[in-house]
Structure 1
Amino acid sequence: MLDSNQFSWFQVPDDVKNLLILAAQTWENTSESEKYIHQALAKAGDNTEILVSAYRFFYYKNNYPLALQTAIKVLDKIKEVEKFPDDWEQLQPILVKRLEEPRIRLYLNAYAASGMVLANLGEIEQAKEISIRVKQIDEDNNFGAAILWDILTRPPDEDD
C-alpha cells in the first residue's frame, strides 16, 4: 500500500492523493481506476496538478476525448488566471517573453499535448496548427511540437 506522505511534494489534499494512489493501484481495471480519477477531479475541482494527472491518466488509457477535455481545462484555467487574449497573434509574444515561467511552460505543455491528442483523434489540421504555433515559441523543442510536426508531415515511406 502506498502512503500519501511519500508524495509530500504533490500539493493536494490527502484524500485526493489517496484517490490518485487507488487509481494507480487499480490501473489494470480501467473502469475502477477511472472511477477514482473522476472522484479526485470532483474533489479537487480545477486544481492544476490534478488536471495534469487526469490528462496523463486518460491519455495513457487511450481515452483521447477525456484527455483532450482535460488538457483544454488546463489551458482555460491558465488563460483565465493570466487574462490571456483570445487571439493567437496577441498571445504569442506574451508566451515568448514569459517562456521560462512555470505557469507559461505548463500552458505550452498542455497546448502541445492537446495537439498530440487531436492527432490521435484524426484532427490532423488542428494538430498541425498547434504544433506550428508551439514550435515557433519553443526553439529547443522542450514541448515536443517539432516531433509532432515531423510525424504529421512526414511523407509515407516508399516501401509501403
Structure 2
Amino acid sequence: MQVQPEKFSWFQVPEDIKKLLILAAQTWENTSESENYMQQALAQAGEHTDVFIAAYRFFYYKNNYPLALQTTIQLLDKIRVAEKLPHDWEQLKPILVSRREEPKIRLYLNTYAASGLVLAKLGEIQQAKEISTKVKEIDDKNDFGAGILLDILTRPAEEDD
C-alpha cells in the first residue's frame, strides 16, 4: 500500500501521523484495521487538533458513536486547557460569547455541538437537548447547527390521522 502524505500538505500534522490517517482512509472497508490506524494517530496527536477532528469524523461515519463521543470530549478538554476555559457553564458562557469569532473558540463550540449530536445518536436525548440549548444561546447565526438539532429533538411527534 503506497502512502503519499505530501499530497496533503495543507494538513498541518507530523508526517508519521499523516501516514496513519491516510492508512485509516485507505483501509476504510476493513473496520478493525482502519480503526487501529486511527487509534495510533490519536495516540500520537498531542496538541494537533486536526487529528481529533479527523478522528471524530472517521468514528462518526463508521457509526462508532462511543468513540466519536470520546474524541469530542478529548478535543474539548484540549481546547479548554489551551484556552484556560472554566468548566462551569455560567463562567464559560460569557467567555464563549465574547470570543465566539476566534478560531479556537469556534472549534470548541463546533465540537460541543457535535457532542450533542453524538449523544442524540446514542439515545441520550436529554443531554443532547441540554448541550444544544447551551450552544444555541451563544450561536445567534446558527453556525454550529445546535438550533437545528434542538428543533429536531424537541419537535412534537406528528399525529397519524
Unaligned regions of 5+ residues in structure 2, if any?
A: none
| 1:19 counterpart residue number | 20
CA RMSD of aligned residues (A): 1.3
- 2:159 aligned partner: 158
Q: Deviations over 1:8-27 (max 9, x none)?
A: 11111111111111111111
Name the aligned partner's letter for residue 57 of structure 1: F
The match for 2:84 is: 83
Q: In 2, Cα distance between the equivalents of 1:89 and 1:39?
A: 36
Give the letter for the 2:24 counterpart.
A
Q: CA–CA distance in 1 between the matches of 2:3 and 2:157?
A: 46
Cα offsets for 1:37-64 (capped at 9, x unmatched): 0111122234211111111111111111
Q: Which amino acid aligns with 2:93?
A: Q
Residue 94 of structure 2 is matched in structure 1 by 93
1:109 aligns with 2:123: no
With normalisation by structure 2, the TM-score equals 0.95
Name the residue aligned to 1:50. 51
Listed one character per residue, the Cα deviations across residues 77-129 of structure 1 (whole Å, up to 9, x for unaligned) are: 11111111121111111101111100000000110000001111111111001
Question: SS state of the match for residue 140, structure 1?
Answer: coil
CA distance in 2, matches of 1:153, 1:24: 36
Question: What amino acid is the match of 1:47?
Answer: H
Alpha-carbon distance in 2 for matches of 1:84, 1:33: 33
Give the equivalent residue in structure 2 for 1:4.
5
Structure 1 residue 141 corresponds to structure 2 residue 142 = yes
Structure 1 runs, 4 residues or longer, greater than 4 Å off:
none
Name which of structure 1's ranges 38-47 and 150-159 shifts more when overlaid on structure 2.
38-47
Q: Is 2:73 aligned against 1:72?
A: yes
The CA distance in 1 between the partners of 2:127 and 2:154, in whole Å, is: 13
Deviation at 1:3, TM superposition (A): 2.2
One-letter identity of the residue aligned with 1:114 = S
- Counterpart of 2:51 in structure 1: which amino acid? I
Aligned length: 160
Tell me how far 1:28 sits from its aligned partner.
1.2
Sequence identity of aligned pairs in percent?
71
Secondary structure of 2:127 counterpart? helix
* Equivalent-residue separation in structure 2 for 1:112 and 1:42 (angstroms): 24
TM superposition score normalised by structure 1: 0.95
